Chains A and B, each alone.
Chain A
Amino acid sequence: MIGADITMKFPLNSNKGISTLAVIISLLVIVLLFLMPNYVKSTYILHIMILIFINIVMGSSWNILGGYTGQYSVGHSAYFGMGAYTTLILMQFRQIPPWYGVWAGMLAALVTALIIGSICFRLRGPYFVLASIAVAEIFRVSALILKDITNVFEGTLTTEIPPLTINGTVITDFSSKVPFYYTGLVFVLIVILATWLIQHSKLGYFFQAIREDQDAAHSLGISMTLYKNTALGISAILTSLSGSLYALYVGFIDPTTVLSLELSVSIVLICIIGGIGTIFGPIIGALVLVPLSEALRSNMIGQSLISSGLVSAESKFGNFLTENLSHAHVLIYGILVVVVILFMPDGVLGFFKALSAKKRKETA
C-alpha cells in the first residue's frame, strides 16, 4: 500500500482555491492598501511598496507560464524590457502619454512572445530553459549594439510624464510617488485577477495538464501550440506592465538592467521562494525579496550591525560591510536560490502546506 511519504506529498484532499477567510482578509488588505497613502506620508515606504508591487506583477506573470503551465522561461526579462523600452521610447520621441504607451508595450511584448514561442516551444524541459535564455540574451546584446536607441535613457531622467487630465481636471502630474503607488496596486490587482480567472477556467485545467504531462495532455485533445502560446502571451503581456511601470517610475533604464539574465533569474526566484503555481506564492516571494535587497542596497544591515555595537565602524570587517554589502544583493539571490531549491523546492507555501498535511496525517 502507499506509504506515509506519498500521502504526505499528496495530501488527502487537494485543497483547491482559497478559503473564505483568506478572501475576506485579502479584501481587507486591499482596502487598507488603497487607503494607505492618505495616512502614510513617508516616501521611502511608498517607494518600497511600489517596488513590491512591481515584483509581484513580475512574479505572478511568470507564474502563469512557469508555475501553471510548467514552462520555465529564464528569459522573461525580454518582455519586461520590451514594455520598458516601448513605453519610454514612445513618450520620449513621440510624446505619446504612457497610458497609451503601456498598451503599445503590451502589444510589443505579445509579438515578441509569439516569435519566441514559435522557436522555443518545440523544445522541452532543460532545452526550453536554455533556448529561453539564449533568446533573451540575443535581445540584450542587440539592444546594447543598437545604443543610439536604447541607451538614450542611460543616465538621463526622462522628460516629465505629461499630467493626467480627465475632462480638463488635472488628476495628477506625477510629481509625487503616489500615482505610481496606485498604478502599481492596480496592476497587482489586474494580475491577481487574471491568475484567479485562469485558475478557475478551462485554461487553468489545460495549463496544468500541460505541466503535469505534456504527452498525456496532447492526447486528451489539448493543442500544445495554442495553449502554450496562450500562456506565454498572457504572461508576456502582464510582465510588460511591470516593465512599463518600472521604466516610468525609475526613468533610467539600460539593457543591463531591464534585459538581463539576472533580472530573469530574480523573476523566477520570486515565484520559487513563495511557491510556484499558487496565487499567493509570488506575493510572498516579493515580500521576501524586495525588503531584503533594499536592506542590502541601502546598507541597512551593515549600518544596524554597526550602530548596535556588534561591529565596530572602524574595524576592517565594518569597513568591508559598509563598502560591499550594498553590492551583495545578487549574492544573496544566489544563496536564496540554492537554499530554496535544496530545502524548499515547493517554496514557502509548499513547505508550510506539507508541514500542515503532515500534522493532519499525524492527528488523523
Chain B
Amino acid sequence: MAILEIKNVSKFFGGLAANSDVSFELEQGMIMGLIGPNGAGKTTLFNCITGYYPPSKGEIIFDGKTMNGLQPDKVCKLGMARTWQKVRPLAKMSVVDNVMVGALCRTNSLKVAREMAMEQVKVVRLDHRANFLAGGLPIGERKKLEVARVLATQPKLLLLDEVMGGLNPAESEEIIRLILDIRKLGITQMVIEHDMKAIMRISDRIVVLNSGEKLAEGSPEEIVKNPDVVTAYLGSE
C-alpha cells in the first residue's frame, strides 16, 4: 500500500525550477533514501510535501488524501512529520519541553504529554539531558532531540533531512540505529543524506534527484551501478 505518492511534482521559484516533474511512491513501512548533489531539490521537495510551501504543479497524496495546499500543522496532524536540515531546537525550552510540544499534538493533557515525551527522550538516549535547555546542547544531541520531538507526534511517515549532517562517526552510528529502530515501529521514513555508506545500509529503495529532476530510482545495488548517478555525483564536484 503506497503511503505517499508524489505525482509529477514541480516547484518553481521565479524562473528557476527547483523541482521538475518528480514522481515516485513510498510503500508503507519502507525506508526511502533521497539523494543527489547539492542543489538537486531534495529539501525543496520535503518542503512541498510537508506544506511549507505548495508545489507549483503536481500532486502529493498521503494515505490516500491529497495534501496540496495543506498547512504544515495539518500535515503533521495527519501523520507526516519532518526534521530540518539546519536543526531548529526550541532553544529557551528544556529538552523534555521540546519533545512535549510534539506530544501535545496528540494529547491535551500535560501529564500524558510529559510521559510520552520522556519515552521518546529515552529512545534517543537523551535522558541525562532531560532538563537541559535545548539551546545549550551540542549539535549531535540537537539532532537527536529533533528526532525525539517528531517521534512524539506519532507520525506514520517521517521525513529526515540530513539528520546525520555534521556528526562524527559514533553519533552517525547512533542515528542509524535509531532509524532502524523506528522502522521496527512500523513508521515509514524518507531520508535525505549525503553519507552514502549510511544510505546504502538503511535504504530499501533510493531516489536520486539532480537539478530538480528525478534521475534514477531503484534498490541500493541498482543505484550504485547506475552510470548516470555516478556522473551526476562526480560531475558536480
Instruction: Report B62-108 residues with CB < 8 Å from chain A CB.
Output: 71-77, 81-82, 84, 88-94, 97, 100-102, 104-105, 108
Please tell me which one of the listed residues B72, B73, B90, B138 contacts residue A2 in the complex, with CB atoms under 8 A apart: B138
Determine whether A147 belongs to the interface, using a CB cutoff of 8 Å to chain B: no
Instruction: Report A190-213 residues with CB < 8 Å from chain B CB.
Output: 200-202, 205-206, 208-209, 211-213
Tell me if A10 and B104 are in contact (CB < 8 A): no
Q: How far, in Å, is A92 (CB) from chain B's closest CB?
A: 44
Determine whether A145 belongs to the interface, using a CB cutoff of 8 Å to chain B: no
Q: How far, in Å, is A353 (CB) from chain B's closest CB?
A: 12
Determine whether A216 belongs to the interface, using a CB cutoff of 8 Å to chain B: yes
Q: How far, in Å, is B95 (CB) from chain A's closest CB?
A: 9
Note all chain A residues with C-beta closer than 8 A to B138.
1-2
Q: How far, in Å, is A75 (CB) from chain B's closest CB?
A: 25
Do A221 and B93 form a contact, CB below 8 Å, given A201-B110, A209-B101?
Answer: no
Q: How far, in Å, is B144 (CB) from chain A's closest CB?
A: 15
Q: How far, in Å, is B127 (CB) from chain A's closest CB?
A: 14
Determine whether B136 belongs to the interface, using a CB cutoff of 8 Å to chain A: yes
The residue on A at minimum CB distance from B50 is: A219
Tell me if A206 and B133 are in contact (CB < 8 A): no
Interface size on A, residues (CB 8 A): 32
Note all chain B residues with C-beta closer than 8 A to A213.
88-91
Tell me if A220 and B150 are in contact (CB < 8 A): yes
Do A205 and B132 form a contact, CB below 8 Å, given A212-B93, A216-B84, A220-B150?
Answer: no
Do A12 and B132 form a contact, CB below 8 Å, given A218-B72, A221-B77?
Answer: yes
Tell me if A11 and B108 are in contact (CB < 8 A): no
Tell me if A221 and B90 are in contact (CB < 8 A): no
Cα A224 to Cα B77 with chains together (Å): 14
Determine whether B203 belongs to the interface, using a CB cutoff of 8 Å to chain A: no
Do A14 and B76 form a contact, CB below 8 Å, given A202-B110, A209-B93?
Answer: no
Give the size category of B's interface with A.
Answer: 35 or more
The residue on A at minimum CB distance from B88 is: A216
Note all chain A residues with C-beta closer than 8 A to B149.
220
Please tell me which one of the listed residues A14, A201, A277 contacts residue B133 in the complex, with CB atoms under 8 A apart: A14
Tell me if A14 and B93 are in contact (CB < 8 A): yes
Cα A9 to Cα B134 with chains together (Å): 11
Instruction: Report A1-32 residues with CB < 8 Å from chain B CB.
Output: 1-2, 6-7, 9-14, 16
Most chain A CB within 10 A, of B50, B81, B110, B136, is at B136
Tell me if A223 and B88 are in contact (CB < 8 A): no
One digit per residue, 1 when the CB lies within 8 angstroms of any chain A CB and 0 when it does not, for chain B 129-146 equals 001110111100000000
Note all chain B residues with C-beta closer than 8 A to A11.
133
Q: How far, in Å, is B190 (CB) from chain A's closest CB?
A: 15
Note all chain B residues with C-beta closer than 8 A to A16.
94, 97
Note all chain A residues with C-beta closer than 8 A to B135.
6, 9-10
Determine whether B153 belongs to the interface, using a CB cutoff of 8 Å to chain A: yes
Q: How far, in Å, is A34 (CB) from chain B's closest CB?
A: 31
The residue on B at minimum CB distance from A226 is: B73
Note all chain B residues with C-beta closer than 8 A to A217.
90, 101
Note all chain A residues with C-beta closer than 8 A to B100.
205
Cα A201 to Cα B113 with chains together (Å): 11
Q: List 25 A-B contacts (CB under 8 A).
A: A1-B138, A2-B136, A2-B138, A10-B91, A10-B92, A10-B133, A13-B131, A14-B93, A14-B94, A205-B100, A205-B104, A205-B113, A208-B97, A213-B91, A218-B71, A218-B73, A219-B50, A219-B52, A219-B72, A219-B75, A219-B76, A219-B81, A220-B105, A221-B73, A224-B71
Q: Which chain B residues have a beta carbon within 8 Å of chain A's beta carbons?
A: 50, 52, 71-77, 81-82, 84, 88-94, 97, 100-102, 104-105, 108, 110, 113, 131-133, 135-138, 149-150, 153
Q: 19 additional contacts, CB 8 Å, given A208-B92, A215-B88?
A: A10-B92, A10-B132, A10-B133, A10-B135, A14-B97, A202-B110, A205-B97, A206-B101, A208-B97, A212-B90, A212-B91, A212-B92, A212-B93, A215-B84, A219-B50, A219-B52, A219-B84, A220-B149, A224-B71
The 3 closest A-B pairs by CB, nearest first: A10-B136, A221-B105, A212-B90
